[in-house]
Amino acid sequence: MKKDFDLHRLSMVLRWDILTNWQRHLGATAGLAIGLSIYCVLRLFSMRYWLNSTEVELASHQYQVSVCMFFSVIAFIAFYVLASCIFNNMKTKLQRESFLMLPACNLEKFVARLLMMSIGVLVQLFAAVILADVIQFIFSFIITPDFHISITWAVLSHIISTIQPFDNDWLKWITLYSFILFSHSFATLGGTFYRKLPVLLTACTGILLSMILGYIINKLGEAGVFDFFSHINFSNGSAADYCITITAFFVFLALAAFNYWASYKLFTRMQVICNKWINI
């Protein structure tokens, strides 16, 4: 077998992953759909007591906004929780043997799992929205007979508006998304390193590192290291603002690249029999 990265082998690994772990993927999609539909049904119940024909337009807007906000929270949690579970397909010895013995190089296996925990999660979220939309639409005939609305287009519109640069500021937009990419890479690294309780331990590690970094920055500030910043103009659109934004973008991008690289290197060291708590 060639050791070079091959797209055909990558597609075969993805196909194997989907067919082997379809119950887990289906369960995650169903869980997301049930959670979103329960919120929608509860919102319909809360609206039935004050809704009348003159307030349908206002009620529709409020309902869509609340559902979109709840979906954003659910999507954020799911995106990073599932990233921390990148190798939950290797819990048992048999699962580890099956995955590690696939006729593909380590990079193809790692990229396949990374795609499943990023692009795959987005597909699951989209499917969950459609399922939740069908469920809440059916319940609306019982709860609010005069009020029926679809949430799929509202959620998609919310996503499209979210990925557009705010105030046409492309620089701050790409910096924000470089931070999101860094956060995902950190969750991926934690999920690769920790074998047991990866979600909890990754979250605790992130909180601990944030506290340490905050403490160091606070001590440096008390020591007067950052006093020279008081003489710099940081107004929006200034040269200093531009430099800081560019620096933050490259820092987050570099950290994300390092985290993904470290995750891959840790994956290459995984064995069928390894430590109980960590994957090395």
Please tell me whether residues 204 and 77 are part of one structural domain: no
- pLDDT of 205: 95
Q: Are 165 and 69 in contact (CB under 8 A)?
A: no
- In this predicted model, what pLDDT tens digit does every residue of 221-278 receive, in sequence order? 777 766 666 666 556 666 667 788 888 889 999 999 999 999 999 998 887 777 777 8
- pLDDT of 259: 96
Taking alpha carbons only, the member of 137, 152, 179, 145 closest to residue 41 is: 137
The SS3 call for residue 194 is strand
Taking alpha carbons only, the member of 275, 265, 267, 280 closest to residue 89 is: 267
Please tell me whether residues 122 and 190 are part of one structural domain: no
User: Residue 91 and residue 97: Cα distance in Å, rounded?
Assistant: 10
Please tell me whether residues 42 and 157 are part of one structural domain: yes
- In this predicted model, what pLDDT tens digit does every residue of 173-215 receive, in sequence order? 888 889 989 999 999 999 999 988 899 999 999 999 999 999 9
- In this predicted model, what pLDDT tens digit does every residue of 47-65 receive, in sequence order? 776 666 556 677 777 888 8
> Of 164, 181, 203, which marks where a domain is finished?
164
Sign of dihedral through CA atoms 255, 259, 265, 266? positive
Please tell me whether residues 198 and 213 are part of one structural domain: yes
Assign residue 105 a region: left if phi > 0, alpha if psi is -120 to 50, beta otherwise? beta
In this structure, what is the dihedral angle of CA atoms 212, 216, 222, 224, given to the nearest 10 degrees?
-160
Is 264 among the domain residues?
yes
Q: Are 261 and 187 in contact (CB under 8 A)?
A: no
Identify the domain containing residue 190 by its residue range. 165-280
User: Residue 262 and residue 186: Cα distance in Å, rounded?
Assistant: 10
> Of 121, 137, 164, which marks where a domain is finished?
164
Please tell me whether residues 278 and 158 are part of one structural domain: no
> Of 117, 144, 164, which marks where a domain is finished?
164
User: Residue 44 and residue 142: Cα distance in Å, rounded?
Assistant: 10
Please tell me whether residues 89 and 141 are part of one structural domain: yes
Taking alpha carbons only, the member of 255, 253, 270, 257 closest to residue 213 is: 255
- pLDDT of 160: 75
User: Residue 203 and residue 156: Cα distance in Å, rounded?
Assistant: 29
Question: Residue 223: what are its φ and ψ, rounded to 5°?
Answer: -80, -5
H runs (alpha helix) in the chain: 7-20, 22-47, 56-84, 93-100, 106-116, 119-143, 152-163, 170-193, 198-222, 239-268
Please tell me whether residues 13 and 152 are part of one structural domain: yes
Please tell me whether residues 121 and 186 are part of one structural domain: no
**Over pLDDT 90: what percentage of the chain?**
39
pTM for this predicted structure: 0.85
User: Residue 15 and residue 102: Cα distance in Å, rounded?
Assistant: 12
Please tell me whether residues 160 and 104 are part of one structural domain: yes
Question: What letters, b where the CB count within 10 A reaches 16 and e where it falls short, cover 102-138?
Answer: eebbebbbbbbbbebbbebbeebbebbbebbbebbbe
Is 194 among the domain residues?
yes
Question: Residue 95: what are its φ and ψ, rounded to 5°?
Answer: -65, -40
Please tell me whether residues 125 and 23 are part of one structural domain: yes
- Structurally, how many domains does the chain consist of? 2
